[in-house]
Amino acid sequence: MIRHRLPGIGAGALLFVLAALPACAQQDPATLRSDAVEAGLTGRYDEALSRWRRLATSDSARASDRRNWIRLLIETGRGGEAVAAARRLGADDPALATVLGEALRATGHRAAAESAWVRALASSADDRAVARVNLGEALADRGDRRGAGEQFAAVISSLTRRETSPTAEEYVALGTAYRHLGADDPSLFREALAAYDRAIAARPVTHEARIRLGELFLDKFNGPDAAATFREVLAVNPRHARALLGKARHAWFDGADSAYHYTRMALEANPSLPDAHAFLARLELEAERYPEAAAEAAAALKQNPEHLPALAMLAASRYLLTDDAGYAAARDTALRLNPRNAEFHADLAEAAGRNRLYQEAHDFADQAVRLDPRSWRALALRGTNALRLGRMEEGRRDLEDAFRGDPFNLWTKNTLDLLDHLVAWPETRSARDRFRFVIDSAESDLLTPYIAPLAEEAFDSLAARYQYAPPTPVRLEIYGSHADFSVRTVGLAGLGALGVSFGSVLAMDSPSARDRGDFNWGSTFWHELGHAFTLGMSGHRVPRWFSEGLSVLEERRARPAWGARANPGFLAVLKADRLLPVSRMNDGFMRPSYPGQIIHAYYQASLVCEYIEDRWGMEAIRAMLMGYRDRKTTPELVPEVLGVSEKELDDAFDSWIKERFATELQVVAAAPGSESEGRGRGRGPWQAAGSDGGGELQVTLAAALARYREKDLDGAEVLYRRAIPMWPEYAGPGNAYTGLALIHRDRGNPAEAIAMLSEVTRRNEVAWEENLLEADLRAATGDTLGAAAALERTLWIRPGDPALHARLAEWYQTIGNHSLAVRERRSVLALGPVDRADAEFQLARALEAAGDGVEARRAVLRALEIAPTFGAAQDLLLRLRGAGRP
C-alpha cells in the first residue's frame, strides 16, 4: 500500500507539541486543559481524568471538556462510569449525545447508542459528523450495509463540501467513512489515509487518529507502516492499550510469538478492553487452548455483550471444544445482532483452519460468502482452504475474486503468484496411483524417481501400523524455493518449517531449497505423510503434540538414521527439569517459552509416543486417534485408553525418560533452555562455543579435536575413546566416532575407519561428509555394495551433484543392479549436464545392460543428435541397430 503522509507529521512533531506544554498544572481553565491533554496523551490517566473531571464539571465547562472526559473514561475501560457521567452532565444535551452513544456502545447497549446518535444528528451539535459515522458503523455491525453506506457517504459529502476545515475529530470520522466505503472501492483507502494524516496534523487531544491509521495499515497488510504508527503512539504513551493491541496484531501478522506478550500488556493497561480479550481468545484458539479461549471471549462479552468478534471467538471455542449447544448459543446471538454477519463465519473459518480442520474451515467460509458475496476475506479463506484440500481450480477462482475485491491482500496476492508458477509444474503419479507428485519443474525429473517408490513404501508401512488408509490420491508438492513453500503454507514468506500436511495434501521444501545438511528430505516426506494418517484417522482432531510426536516416531521406525534424536541442548533442559509434562506438551509447540523449545518438543513428543507404544502397544495409539475422532480430549483419553490419570502419565514418563538418559545426563551440564538449536535438524548447539548443554563430554570432545588438529593422533584417540561411553548414541557435530574414523583413515586403517563412520551414518540422517567418506573407503576396499548404500544415503540429503550420481551408477553397474544404474544415469541427465551427449550415451549403456534395447537405442540417438561423430556412441548404435524394430 502506498502511503501519502503529510510532511512533518510523526512522533517527533507530537513530542514537540507536548514539550511546549507547561510542566505543572495551574488552576486556570486553559492551563488545566493543557495539563489534562498532556496527561491523557502520555498515559498519566488518573491525573488526566481528574483534570478533565474538574473542567467538565466546572461552571465554565466547554462541551469539548465534557466529551474529552467521557472519552477518556471509555479509553481507560470505565465504560459504566462514562455512561453515568454523560447522563449526569446532561442526559438530553445534544452536545453530549454522540459521546453518550459511544459510552453506551462500549458497554454493549447498541440500540440505546444508536438512539443517542440519531438524537445528535437531529440537533445542531457540532459533532454531528462523528455521530453519523458512529451510526454508520452501528448499521454495518447489524448487517445494514446499504444504510451504513448512506451514512458514510453523507459524512464525506458534508465534510468535503464545507468551507471550513474539519476538526481533528471530524477528520477521523472522514477517514473512517472512507475506510468503510473502501470495501467496495479500494481506491478510497488512500483517501482514508490522507484523512487520518490530516487529523494527526490538526493536533488532536487523543491518539485516536494514529490508532485508526495503524489499524487501517494492518487491515491492508502493510505491517511496517502499521508498526511504525503504533510505535509513534507508544513512544508518547507506553501504556496505550489499543496501541499495544495494535502491536500485538502486527506481531501476529508477522507470525511472531510476541503477539501474546503485547496483548497481555494491552490488558494490563486496560483490563476491560474487549478487543484485547477477543484477540487473546484468538491467540488461545490458535494455541489449541480452547477453554482459555472461551474464558477470554467471555471476559470481552462481560464488558460488551454485543461484541461481535468476541462472540465469534466464543463460538469458535465452543465448536472446537465440541460443545454443540454452547456453539449454537453463541452463533445465534451473533446472528441475531447481525443476520448478515459474514465476519462471524470468516472468524470461525480462520479458527478452524488454524486448528487443521480444513474442510470445516472451507465450509464456514462458504457460509460467510453466501451471507455476503462481497466479503473478500471470506472468499480468500474459502479459496485458501480449497487449495489445502487439493481443489486447486476452485481455490484459484476464489482467490482471484477475492483479490479483485481487495487488491491489498498480500496473502492472496502471494498465493496467486505462486499458483501461476505451480500450473506449469508437471504432475506425475506413483506406480500404484496413490500419489500425485507436483514438483518444481526444474527438479521433477530428478526427484520423482526417488520419492515415488519411497511414497508407496511409506504408505504401506503406515497403513499397516495404523490399520487405516487416508483418502487417496495423496498430493505431494515439492518446492525448490523455500519462500514458495512458505507462501503455500501461510501465505507469506518466512515460515521456518520444512514441510506441512493438510491431510492428503502435503507440501515441503525440496533439498535445493535449503543448505546442504539442513534436513533429510526422505524423512521429512515420511513425517508429513505420517500426519496424513494421524489427521485422517482422527478426523483432523488430533492435538498438535500427538500428531508431531507420532510423525517423528514414524521417521525413526522407517530408517535407523532418520528422525530427531537427543542432542546436548535437549538433555541440558531435561537435566534442569525444564521439560514440559506430557499434559502440557502442546504448549511446547504452540507457545514455546524459549527459542529451542519447539525443537525439543518435537523430540520429546516422539518419546512420549514411543513410551506409549512400548508400554501399551500400537493399539493404544490407534485407540487414542479414534478417540480424538470421536471428539474426546487428551484428559479424557489418557485414563480411558491407558488406564492412568494424566498426572500418573506425567510422572511415569518423567521417570522413564530420566532412566533412559541416565548415562548421558551425567556428562552434560544443566541449562534452562535458552539456546537456539539452529535452523536445521542436523545442527547441534555445540557448533557454537559457549552454548548450553556442555559438560564433561563437550570438554572431552573439544580437547580431542584440538589434539587431532595438532596431529597428535594417539592423544586424540585416547580422548575420543573416553568420550564414547559417556554418550554412546551421540552422533551429532563433533562426535567421537567421526574423530576416530579420521584418525584411522590417516593411519591407513580403512576397515576401522569404516566401522566408526557406520556408527555415525546409522544414527545421523544428515551426515553428509561421513557418508561420502564411508563410500570412498568402502569402494577403495572393494565393498561396492556398501559404498553404494552410503552414497544412496547422501541423495536424501542433497541429490544435486551429477558426479555423485555418475559414480553411483558405475557402482550399481559393477554390482549388477542395472535398474538403479539406469535411475542414476537419468538423474545425471535431470541435472542438466554440460556434457549431455556423454550423459545420454552413459544412459544408453546402462539401459542396454538392463536389457532395454529400445530405450537404449533412443538414448544413444539423442547422444548422437548432439554429437554426431561421437565414436563410442556410434559403436553402441550399430550394436543396438534394429532394437525395438518389428
Partner 1 sequence: MIPARLVLALLAAPGVMAAQATAPADGEGRHVLVVTGLSGEPTYAARFQDVTTTLLHAFESRYRIPRSRIRWFAEKPDAAPGRVTGRSTRENVLGALEALATEVKEGDIVFLLLIGHGSMTGDEARFNLPGPDITPADLAARLSRFPRQTVVVVNAASASGAFLQPLSAPGRIIITATKTGMERNETNFVYPFVQALADTGAGADVDKDGAVSLLEAFRFAKAEVARSFESEKSLLTEHALLDDDGDGKGSEDPPLNAVGGDGSVARRVTLRSAVAVAGAESDTVVARLVREQGALQRQVDALRARKESLPAAEYEQQLEALLLRLAEVGAEIRSRTGGSR
Q: What is the rounded CA–CA span in Å between residue 439 and residue 443?
A: 7
CB of 807 to partner 1, least distance (A): 14
Least distance from C-beta 844 to partner 1, angstroms? 13
Q: Which is nearer to partner 1, 616 or 768 (CB)?
A: 768
Number of CB atoms found within 10 A of residue 2's CB: 7
SS3 76: coil
Q: How far is the CB of 876 from partner 1 (least distance, A)?
A: 9
The nearest distance, CB 677 to partner 1, in angstroms, is 21
Tell the smallest beta-carbon distance from residue 789 to partner 1 (Å).
Answer: 25
Cell representation of residue 53 = 473531571
DSSP string, 631-683: T--HHHHIIIIISS-HHHHHHHHHHHHHHHTHHHHTTS----S-----SSSS-
Residue closer to partner 1 by CB (options 54, 798) is 798
Helices 376-388 and 358-371 cross at an angle (nearest 10°) of 150
The DSSP call for residue 580 is P
Nearer to partner 1, 426 or 832 (CB): 832
Backbone angles phi and psi of 500, in degrees to 5: -150, 150
**Residue 788: alpha-carbon gap to chain centroid:** 39
Least distance in angstroms from the C-beta of 861 to partner 1:
6
Residue 354 CB, shortest distance to partner 1, in Å, is 32
Amino acid type, 726? M
Shortest Å, Cβ 873 to partner 1: 7
Separation CA 92–CA 237 (nearest Å): 34
Based on CB atoms, which residue is closest to partner 1, 725 or 884?
Answer: 884
**Residue 150: CB partners within 8 Å, gap ≥ 6?**
136
> Smaller CB distance to partner 1: residue 719 or 877?
877
Nearer to partner 1, 546 or 870 (CB): 870
Least distance (Å) between residue 882 CB and partner 1: 10
Q: Which amino acid is at 36?
A: A
Least distance from partner 1 to the Cβ atom of residue 255, Å = 23
Q: Which residue's CB is nearer to partner 1, number 36 or number 860?
A: 860
Residue placing its CB nearer to partner 1 in the complex, 69 or 521: 521
Q: Distance (Å, rounded) from C-alpha 525 to C-alpha 552?
A: 11
Determine the 3-state secondary structure of 474 from DSSP.
Answer: strand
> What is the distance in angstroms between the CA of the first residue and the CA of the last residue of the chain?
66
Question: CB of residue 420 vs partner 1: minimum separation in angstroms?
Answer: 22
- Which CB atom, from 851 or from 868, has the smaller least distance to partner 1? 868
Bond before 473 cis per omega within 30 degrees:
yes
- Minimal distance in Å, beta carbon 360 to partner 1? 39
- Residue appearing with cell numbers 471550513: 164
Min dist CB 564 to partner 1, Å, is 25
Residue 494 Cβ vs partner 1, minimum distance, rounded to whole Å: 17
d(CA 194, CA 393): 39
Contact yes or no for 728/760 (Cβ under 8 A): no
| The C-alpha cell that represents 268 in the structure block | 494490563
CA angle centred on 333, ends 332 and 335, rounded to 5°: 65
Per-residue burial over 327-359, b if 16 or more Cβ lie within 10 Å, else e, is beebbebbbebbebbbbbbbbbbbbbbbbbbbb
**Residue with smaller CB distance to partner 1, 126 or 801:** 801
**Non-local CB neighbours of 687 within 8 Å, separated by 6+ positions:** 678, 733, 734
Kindly tell me which of 290 and 870 has the beta carbon lying closer to partner 1: 870
The amino acid at residue 737 is Y
Q: Residue 674, by phi and psi: left (phi above 0), alpha (psi -120 to 50) or beta?
A: alpha
- Considering the complex, state which of residue 410 and residue 872 has its C-beta at the smaller distance from partner 1: 872
Strand-by-strand arrangement of the 505-509 sheet? 427-429, 435-439, 474-479, 505-509, 499-501
Which residue number, 332 or 875, has a Cβ lying nearer to partner 1?
A: 875
The distance of closest approach from Cβ of residue 402 to partner 1 in the complex, given in angstroms and rounded to an integer, is: 33
Of residues 494 and 868, the one with the C-beta less far from partner 1: 868
Cα within 13 Å of Cα(206), Cβ side? 27
DSSP annotation of 466 reads H
CB of 837 to partner 1, least distance (A): 5
Helix (H, G, I), strand (E, B) or coil at 108: coil
Shortest reach from residue 679's CB to partner 1, in Å: 13
In the complex with partner 1, which residue's Cβ is closer, 12 or 832? 832
Buried b (16+ CB within 10 A) or exposed e, 809-839: bbbbbeeebbebbbbbbbbbbbbebeebbbb
Interface residue list for partner 1 (CB under 8 A): 515, 832-838, 861, 864-875, 877-878, 881
H/E stretch holding 477 reads strand 474-479
Residue number with CB closer to partner 1 (113 or 863): 863
* Contacts within 8 Å (CB) and 24+ apart, 739-747: 739/701, 739/704, 739/705, 739/708, 741/770, 741/773, 742/708, 743/708, 743/713, 743/716, 743/717, 745/773, 745/777, 746/713, 747/713
Closest distance to partner 1 from the beta carbon of 480 (Å): 11
Other Cβ atoms within 10 Å of 321 Cβ, number: 16
**SS3 category, 506:** strand
Nearer to partner 1, 261 or 836 (CB): 836
Query: CA-CA distance, 505 to 829, in Å (whole number)?
Result: 29
**Closer residue to partner 1, CB minimum distance, 4 or 885:** 885
